[in-house]
């Protein structure tokens, strides 16, 4: 997928929120709601401050859902790091 074909998170959320009502299903309603409100400051956030320079950073809470493109990317990256570590450990063993 080239840069022109990539869809950013906000565009995806907009497309989904505009078309979501026709796909409405009780089983997925909570998951969709979480995804549409993921990383919105209005739903909560934490702040961090650099001890050296005093610069602050606001980090909105995320939904941690497998349905959310941003959150599943984080989970996938974490899983890949773990899998890579296990593979490396298995290759280091002498049989």
What pLDDT digit, counting tens, does each position of 30-42 carry?
A: 888 888 888 899 9
To which H or E segment does residue 91 belong? helix 69-92
Asked if pLDDT for residue 9 goes beyond 60, the answer is: yes
Higher pLDDT: 42 or 88? It is 42
DSSP bridge partners of 47: 58
What's the pLDDT at 62? 92
Cα 80–Cα 7–Cα 62 angle in degrees, nearest 5: 55
Cα 66 off chain centre by: 8
Asked if pLDDT for residue 91 goes beyond 80, the answer is: no
Higher pLDDT: 57 or 90? It is 57
- pTM of the full structure: 0.59
Q: Distance between CA 62 and CA 19 in Å, rounded?
A: 22
């Amino acid at each position: 997928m080239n840069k022109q074909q990539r869809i950013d998170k906000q565009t995806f959320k907009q497309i989904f929120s505009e078309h979501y009502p026709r796909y409405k299903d009780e089983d997925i309603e909570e998951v969709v709601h979480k995804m549409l409100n993921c990383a919105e400051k209005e739903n909560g956030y934490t702040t961090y401050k650099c001890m050296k320079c005093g610069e602050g950073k606001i980090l909105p809470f995320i939904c941690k859902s497998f349905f959310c493109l941003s959150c599943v990317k984080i989970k996938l990256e974490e899983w890949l790091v773990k899998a890579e570590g296990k593979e490396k450990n298995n290759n280091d063993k002498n049989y």
